[in-house]
Amino acid sequence: MFERSAHLFIDFEFTMPEGKNNPIGFFPEIIEVGWILVKDDKVIDQYTSYVKPEAFPVLTSRCRKFLNINNAHVNQGISFEELVILLKKVNSEKPAIVTWGNNDMKVLSQNCQNHGFKMPLTGKQIDLSIEYKRFFGDKNQTGLWKAVQQYGNAGNGKQHRALDDAINTYHIFRLVEQDKRYLDNHESTTIGDIIDFSTLLNELK
């Protein structure tokens, strides 16, 4: 299925402001992480945790409602520094980083800059939503759970839960790779495949 290399399917959930206008100094902070690490088409590591926000520790009502996360959840989470340490360990496998959309890596990079850390994930970044869009020729990018449903699946777990979204990203990746291989190996249909010429000639006699 995969090339002989590691792939890290990862998802983050972030804080969000109450309204459209961000408060002074606001930036989205990671408050939940979920990933699965796959090597040679086998899951070799899986992890999920809440992450404590530091710059804006009190979650807005919009954030709580949208993500179904409250301060009691995130206050029990790991610190951002601990998250960076864990990601550095995963990075030792030199995985390609697979996300649905590009916001996850952007927010991780911004959080690292604001906390004075180097980016812990250094592998090739794959935005699967773009790959999906190109493969199916869609004009617009498709949401993860819509893509899952388009493949005839109700989805694993709950939407906007980091580990569930990471697992669903992995499932979509596998399905798209299967379809790519099928199209690459499938011979083009000829007119001879469509029409039985021997039957046609008998009918003309």
Q: Which amino acid is at 114?
A: N
Task: With H, G, I as helix, E, B as strand and everything else as coil, classify residue 44.
Answer: strand
Q: Which is the catalytic residue, given 73, 115, 131, 160? A: 160
Structure letter (DSSP) for residue 11? E
Instruction: Please indicate whether residue 13 is annotated as part of the active site.
Output: yes
* C-beta separation of 90 from 33 below 8 A: no
Structure tokens, 76? 């029990």
Instruction: Please indicate whether residue 177 is annotated as part of the active site.
Output: no
Structure tokens, 113? 């800059």
Q: Which amino acid is at 161?
A: R
Question: 75-87 in b/e burial notation, b at 16+ Cβ within 10 A?
Answer: eebbebeebbebb
Q: Which is the catalytic residue, given 7, 13, 29, 32? A: 13
User: Between the CA of residue 149 and those of 92, 145, 153, what are the distances in Å?
Assistant: 34, 6, 5
Structure tokens, 63? 């954030």
* C-beta separation of 22 from 13 below 8 A: no
Structure letter (DSSP) for residue 51? B
Structure tokens, 92? 């030792």
As annotated, the active-site residues are 13, 160
